[in-house]
Amino acid sequence: MAAINWFRFASPASFYPLAGKLTALFGWVAVLLAVAGLYVGFVIAPTDAQQGESYRIIFIHVPAAWMAMLIYVVIAFWSVFSLALNARLPSMMAQALAPTGALFAFIALWTGAFWGRPTWGTYWVWDARLTSTLVLLFLYLGLIALRSGIDDPRRADRACALLALVGVVNVPIIYFSVRWWNTLHQGATISMGAAPKMAQTMLTAMLLMTFSAWAYAIATAFHRVRTIIIEREALSDWVGKIVDPSIPGQPGTAHAERQP
Amino acid sequence: MSEWLAMGGHGFFIWSSYGMLALALVVEIMVLRRARRSASERARAMRADARQP
């Protein structure tokens, strides 16, 4: 069996075309899974005995909340890599994930509000889970603001990696908040080692939407990382061929970073 | 159809949730495409500057 040199993809030049193929693949997977999930969720899944139809918000609320937490953990993972190896691509991946993480955190809060109103009688309470999820949204916005506030990309990489690592303690707080504190938010619907407390078709719809959200996040992150590569490696020869294929043999050093 | 849209009286809450998600996805995809275009244009401009003697 031929050995694949995985480290080849650690260089932006060889990662760029791969990321392009993955963007298209995962984009389509996201669309197909969302169509299937919405069909099961709105056509097949029955009305909930206690909540009526409003429970159907779960099909986007729970996947969005999971993705918001997961993406932050992935950013922290890439941040460890970028600090330990002082490599460019892990920082770029962390940077590429932050806006999509912010989007999912916002959607988790928004859909939670519109589910809370018919269920609890209020759009918002300063409950441990809601508050810690709001903190997560602010952490994402902080990462984006910090990045745009520092001109030198390598300094911005390090500052954002540190913020990501400090903020990651918030994720287990969100996850366990419903156990640690007496919250208005209900406990975990799905947890390891226990049978899910919901009907099979509801669970199927929710999982389809979750996998769709995964695929969407992967697609957008890879799309964004390619834009970041173009920005940061603009003067390298291989980016020149991408942005301006008509002119061969342009000046510029390989892998030159954009200077502020 | 309108009965289905009413969602047993919860239509406002359900469609506000799904509508905001749809809006957010459309906005993110538009921003992604615009960012790619402007990054490519900036890269071309930087390379043109670098070619000046």
pLDDT, tens only, B11-46: 999 999 999 999 999 999 999 999 999 999 999 998
Domains identified in chain A, total number: 1
In a domain, A226, yes or no: yes
Domains identified in chain B, total number: 1
Other C-beta atoms closer than 10 Å to the C-beta of A72 total: 26
- Reported as a pLDDT band with limits 50, 70 and 90, residue A235 is confident
In a domain, A256, yes or no: no
Nearest to A53 among B14, B24, B46 (CB): B14
Q: Mark yes or no for CB contact B39/A227 under 8 Å.
A: yes
Indicate the helix (H) or strand (E) that contains A149.
helix A128-149
Q: Mark yes or no for CB contact B8/A226 under 8 Å.
A: no
Res A134: pLDDT: 97
The Cα A74–Cα A80 span in angstroms is 10
B23 lies in which domain range?
18-53
In a domain, A53, yes or no: yes
Size of interface A-B (CB pairs under 8 A): 96
In a domain, B6, yes or no: no
Choose from A231, A236, A237, A250 for mutation: most chain B CBs within 10 A.
A231
In a domain, B43, yes or no: yes
In a domain, A67, yes or no: yes
Res A248: pLDDT: 57
In a domain, B4, yes or no: no
Tokens of A99: 């806006």
Res A252: pLDDT: 45
In a domain, B10, yes or no: no
Chain B nearest C-alpha distance from A234 (Å): 5
Res A7: pLDDT: 64
Give the contacts of A115 (CB within 8 A, at least 6 positions apart): A54, A55, A57, A58, A61, B13, B17
A106 lies in which domain range?
17-189+197-243
In a domain, A71, yes or no: yes
- What is the pTM (predicted TM-score) of this model? 0.89
- Reported as a pLDDT band with limits 50, 70 and 90, residue A12 is confident
In a domain, B41, yes or no: yes
ipTM associated with this complex? 0.92
